[in-house]
Amino acid sequence: MEYTSSGDRAGADLSELFADLVRCETRLYNALNDRLRERHGIVTSQYEFLSYLRDHPGCRVADLAAEFAIGVGATSKGIDRLEKQGWAARRPNPADRRSSLLALTDDGALLVEEAQQTFTGSLAELLGGTLDARSLSTVARALSTLRSALERDQVGTPTG
């Protein structure tokens, strides 16, 4: 289906595109949730936080919130849950006493390493089982371009 921005049908086409994007994201997220919960006792949002902490040592709650386009309060609560499980820790920020730097614990590092296998394997199965390499590459480029533009223009950035 071609999505256009002119004529009477354009609104319906763009609405269908939006519905497809959201429903695909929801179904993929739910499937990953199920597999991560079953195999590692975590959900997708926890995996994403742990993965971000691994890849960005010394980040702050505000950095996580900006990356995932969610509120700082929700992000802080998510980190609280990871801390309670012993997977993450807050450390004093020497440059700003009002904030903390986040770090994975050894248990958190081990968990995210193990969960990454499940995460990437599940994505390969769910996406690669449906789309060929060329289609996946095209979708990846298009979504990356869209995401970059939305982030550049701060579209959908939470205010609280």
Q: Residue 39 belongs to what domain range?
A: 32-129
pLDDT for the residue 64: 95
Radius of gyration of the chain (CA): 18
- Whether residue 135 sits in one domain with residue 77: no
Please report, as a single letter, which amino acid is at residue 14.
L
Q: How confident is the model at residue 5 (pLDDT cuts 50, 70, 90)?
A: low
Beta carbons within 8 Å of 87's beta carbon, 6+ residues apart: 46, 50, 104, 105, 107, 108, 111
Burial class (CB in 10 A: 0-12, 13-18, 19+), 91: exposed
Q: How confident is the model at residue 135 (pLDDT cuts 50, 70, 90)?
A: very high
**Within a domain: 24:** no
pLDDT digits (tens, 9 = 90+) for 28-86: 999 999 999 999 999 999 999 999 999 999 999 999 999 999 999 999 999 999 999 99
Does the pLDDT value for residue 160 go beyond 90?
no
Number of domains observed in the structure of the chain:
2
**Within a domain: 147:** yes
Compare 121 and 96 and report the one with higher pLDDT.
Answer: 121
- Whether residue 151 sits in one domain with residue 95: no
- Whether residue 53 sits in one domain with residue 76: yes
Q: How confident is the model at residue 158 (pLDDT cuts 50, 70, 90)?
A: confident
pTM greater than the 0.85 cutoff: yes
- Whether residue 119 sits in one domain with residue 65: yes
- Whether residue 137 sits in one domain with residue 75: no
- Whether residue 141 sits in one domain with residue 108: no
pLDDT digits (tens, 9 = 90+) for 22-39: 999 999 999 999 999 999
pLDDT for the residue 97: 85
**Within a domain: 52:** yes
- Whether residue 53 sits in one domain with residue 124: yes
**Within a domain: 148:** yes
**Within a domain: 54:** yes
**Within a domain: 15:** no
- Whether residue 59 sits in one domain with residue 111: yes
